[in-house]
Structure 1
């Protein structure tokens, strides 16, 4: 399994709704509300060899209330 992170910017007032929708879809390992430029930090695990861009497009971008995302792939855990 390979982890990656997604920073999500939500429409005003919709961060809890977006977080709940992602949690209900059971694709995320962890979801955090954060301060700053983005509203949510999401940790996701996928099988090795999974196309992360396709996964994010199909499973995350379809959630209503998301304005922007930034995907952060991981390489090695220490």
Structure 2
């Protein structure tokens, strides 16, 4: 599985509706957080290794009513307490 995050800017007054729509309709969603700053939401997704992330963002996230803009961050490695030591 490939993990990635998407910062999402919403139309004014639509943040909670967008968050609900993502959680309710996008099965690849892991978490959605409301955040401060330039963007309104930070959502984590996981897709199959061979999935086209750009196409996923375009079809599954950017088409949600109330989404104004996105910025995608693709993850390389996950460092966790059970996997974080001895990797250098």
User: What TM-score comes out, normalization by structure 1 length?
Assistant: 0.96
Q: Which residue of the partner structure matches residue 65 of structure 2?
A: 64
Any idea what the Cα deviations from partners look like across 1:29-55, whole Å, max 9, x if unmatched? 100000010000000000001110001
Residue 21 (structure 2) pairs with residue 16 (structure 1): no
Looking at both structures, which has the greater relative contact order when contacts are Cα pairs under 8 Å and sequence separation is at least 6?
Answer: 1
2:46 matched residue in structure 1: 45
Query: Number of residue pairs matched?
Result: 78
Higher Rg: 2
Query: Structure 1 regions of 5+ residues with no counterpart?
Result: none
Partner residue in 2 for 1:5: 5
Where do 4+ consecutive residues of structure 1 move more than 6 Å?
none
- Tell me the CA shift for residue 27 of structure 1: 2.9
- RMSD over aligned CA atoms reads 0.7
